[in-house]
Structure 1
């Protein structure tokens, strides 16, 4: 009889411990680029300048357990997973603002990521912060486009990963 209660207690404690995954990322919006930003002087030459996104994405740090995670430190890493991509094209991302504190008390605690950084195939550090923050605006840009790449649709998936400190 005691053995059954002991097993029940161990099972209940392990169920509480397995709830370690508390932070999560949500994204809203879609990245689009305006082709009218292209400056082409002659066929076969590289395209001058960069193309920046004209619509953005907002990233939010959320948690199912608000009280345990509202002061949690975290880091965001970013990488891309190519579907159909030309390695000569550089995709870059930056954080354009600090977002909003979800409890509406004071400012946000967020650092780094305010200048464009290239998104590679391996995860790289993007920015860090503390607490639950909503609507962090992100901007993207394309660089090193060339007419020699030909007319094609290029597609890649951008992956954001959150780690708690």
Structure 2
């Protein structure tokens, strides 16, 4: 299901939509960039758990797929809930939607796993198997695809 329907608004002011669902200015800019047919290689979200990690992205749509996550990989998902918690013991980093009060943000801080939240387009812009770098201190996610490893990443949402 899409996060928004219709015209992308200029701003979101509802604190629930911002803090829990991560629908902030970064998200709105990323939606606009994705609609322009430009390939997104740098995503900006909300820094949720400090640190930097690089690894292979494992894009999951639900907890039933958690068995696919290998040690050292980066979990990319829409959101997490308590049944996702054991994965934080083996992942290198986490990228997801949601805000600073989301489950992933809290567990990322508890486990010391670099986490960036409010990256609402993460599961669209990042492919399963891409190598990505997660900067949980600054809230950025950089995608290094094999085909464009030499290309300079384009900035989105800065």
* TM-score class normalised by the smaller sequence: under 0.3
TM-score, normalising length: structure 2: 0.23
